[in-house]
Amino acid sequence: AAGVIQSPRHLIKEKRETATLKCYPIPRHDTVYWYQQGPGQDPQFLISFYEKMQSDKGSIPDRFSAQQFSDYHSELNMSSLELGDSALYFCASSLGEDRVNEQFFGPGTRLTVL
Amino acid sequence: AQSVSQHNHHVILSEAASLELGCNYSYGGTVNLFWYVQYPGQHLQLLLKYFSGDPLVKGIKGFEAEFIKSKFSFNLRKPSVQWSDTAEYFCAVNAKGNNRLAFGKGNQVVVIP
């Protein structure tokens, strides 16, 4: 079965650079979530989209922005990168934004900021 | 905001031993509860979930969890582990009104053959 696809899987950037992470949800899934997992930390919710509109916002820095496109894929744009942004970024998708709907997770993008 | 606590972050046990991982959450309202597993090099996968009804839920691979509302707990159990259960286990919760998941810090479980 098709799963959530994230690209790139690994990304290395310098401080103050920008990065774009992409997430392709499971076909027919209309809701996308982004989570950030720092080293040794639990995943923290960043932001979510339902039907191309932002549906919830968590602890996402102002330097980050995200959107969901007409084909339901989502991109997380990160600017003025800081060392503390080094983390594993997970994307998840679900069918519908109801809280009882299972979120299916992608493999993550590991971002390293030097 | 809801928060989730998991204890004993590193667990080492032998095959056939029983496993129990504790999970406590802090939120007074209606919640959904989840256990996710992350095998080495793989993505998070859902083990089981609780929404309502029977507080004892059974998941995949012989895992089960019990929701005890009075204790705000959702502990995960498996009577007899296998080497292939070596993984990291995350408890998660979402609350009425939003669908974001709040995760615990995870339990790294190593099963020795």
Q: How far is A110 from chain B (nearest CA, A)?
A: 12
Which residues fall within 8 angstroms of residue B28, CB to CB, at 6 or more apart? none
Report the pLDDT averaged over residues A17-29.
96
CB contact (8 A) between residue B90 and residue A42: yes
Which of B60, B62, B23 lies closest to A102, judged by CA?
B60
Query: Average pLDDT in the B84-101 region?
Result: 89
Cα gap A3→B25, rounded to integer Å: 29
Query: Residues A35-65, buried b or exposed e (16+ Cβ, 10 A)?
Result: bbbeeeebbbbbbbbbeeeebbebebeeebe
Which residue in A35, A48, A103, A104 has the most chain B C-beta atoms within 10 A of its own C-beta, making it the best mutation to test that interface? A103
DSSP class of B33: E
Query: Which stretch, A13-22, B45-54, B94-103, has highest mean pLDDT?
Result: A13-22
Q: Which residue of B has its CA nearest to A97?
A: B99
User: What pLDDT does residue A2 have?
Assistant: 79
**Beta carbons of A106 and A8 less than 8 angstroms apart:** no
What does the angle CA B100 – CA B106 – CA B110 come to, to the nearest 5 degrees? Answer: 145
Percent of chain A with pLDDT over 70: 96
Q: Which residues contact A19 (CB under 8 A, 6 or more apart)?
A: A11, A13, A77, A78, A81, A111
Decide which of B2 and A4 is more confident: A4
- At A39, is the pLDDT very low, low, confident or very high (cuts 50, 70, 90)? confident
Residue A21: phi and psi, rounded to 5, are -110, 140
Quote the CA–CA distance of B5 and B51 in Å, as a whole number: 19
* Per-residue model confidence (pLDDT) at position B1: 67
Tokens representing residue B88 in the block: 């990291």
